[in-house]
Structure 1
Amino acid sequence: MKKTILNLFALALLASCQTAVNEEKSTAVGSEGWLAGTSEEKFEEVAHQLGGFSKAMVEVSYRYSELYWAGMDENWGYAEHQVEHMIEAIEDGLKRRPVRAESAESFMKESLPAMEELIKKENKEEFIKGFRALTSACNACHAKEGESYIMIREPEIRTSPVRF
């Protein structure tokens, strides 16, 4: 009988501890407490703030333009830097939207590595040809996703203050 009472007491204690663990305090964090809710709700909000693939494409667009101007300036270190960050931005976007991976595969495994190799040659004429091939690959990827209305062209206006 004593064992049964002790076992019941132990089970009741365990259940109350489990309930305490499951009842999470909701503490707002961030500037002025904008991030509120349970941990799960906060993670959902952060995921929403990061967005899907479109926010990654905003960064890729910036890096694409900077890559172009780096090549025009023959600033090969800066060009290499841009390709590295394009790869990172796309990889991050693919983590959030893995459904895009199939369309991006040749771009990631062929187009960007080809651009990296061209940059190593430090030849502006070859860079321009390679950049045009990269642009075509961008547009091909968009077409694979059914978004051929997103047409990429070589930058015409330089918006960055970075110069070599």
Structure 2
Amino acid sequence: MSEGEKVKGFNGHVYFTIDEIAHMLPGPARLMHEIGTRWWKVYYAAKEGNWPLAEYEIKETKELFEISMTTRPKYVQWMEPFMGESMKRVEDAIKAKNWKQFEEAYNQSIKDANDYHKAANKPLIHWKLPNTPPPDMEMKPQP
């Protein structure tokens, strides 16, 4: 490779430079949709007593937050406290399999998330728990 030539990767169809690949990495605008969907599933899985599914969905949610903080570090100041405090309380309630504790922690997490949106100058983003379980997945424990 000559000096000045950019490293490229091939996806089976097209060669991409590292800069082009970096540009395609998802930021919070794309990731928050999936985070919201998984957070919705956390609630309804716990409500049905499907603690393993709730635990799985919270683990996946944390991984999405990690990606978001990597691609957009300016949001770390809000995402880290949310994960370390709000999500931790929900996770502790899931581990305890305690619905009352869970519901209290979950409701607080929604308030916290919306407060963080305001602090991040995104007050137009106000998340709320949908009134019904997600239609794409069974929330009840499976045999």
Normalising by the smaller structure, the TM-score range is 0.7 to 0.9
Normalised TM-score (structure 2): 0.85
User: Partner amino acid for 2:94?
Assistant: I
CA-atom RMSD in angstroms:
2.2
Cα deviation, 1:84-126, whole Å, max 9, x if unaligned, reads 1111110110000111111223202111111111111212222
The DSSP-based 3-state class of the residue aligned with 1:60 is helix
For residue 47 of structure 1, report the CA deviation from its aligned partner: 2.0
Please name the residue that 2:10 is paired with.
29
Higher mean C-alpha deviation, range 48-57 or range 72-81: 48-57
The structure that is helix-richer by fraction is: 1
Q: Distance in 2 between matches of 1:162 and 1:77?
A: 13
Q: Relative contact order (C-alpha < 8 Å, sep 6+): which is higher?
A: 2
Question: Unpaired runs of 5+ in structure 1?
Answer: 1-19
Normalised TM-score (structure 1): 0.75
Q: 1:128 aligns with which of 103, 119, 124?
A: 103
Q: Distance in 1 between matches of 2:91 and 2:135?
A: 23
Q: Distance in 1 between matches of 2:109 and 2:4?
A: 52
For residue 22 of structure 1, report the CA deviation from its aligned partner: 2.6
Matched, 1:50 2:50: no
Please name the residue that 1:95 is paired with.
70
The structure that is strand-richer by fraction is: 2
Please name the residue that 1:111 is paired with.
86
Change (3 A) 1:103 1:26: closer
Larger radius of gyration: 1
Cα contact 2:9–2:15 (8 A) shared by 1: yes
Cα contact 1:26–1:36 (8 A) shared by 2: no
For residue 141 of structure 1, report the CA deviation from its aligned partner: 1.2
Q: 1:141 aligns with which of 85, 91, 116?
A: 116
Change (3 A) 1:52 1:27: closer
Pairs aligned (count)? 139
The DSSP-based 3-state class of the residue aligned with 2:34 is helix
Change (3 A) 1:113 1:26: closer
For residue 30 of structure 1, report the CA deviation from its aligned partner: 2.6
Q: Distance in 1 between matches of 2:8 and 2:87?
A: 43
Cα contact 2:93–2:99 (8 A) shared by 1: no
Q: Distance in 1 between matches of 2:6 and 2:93?
A: 54
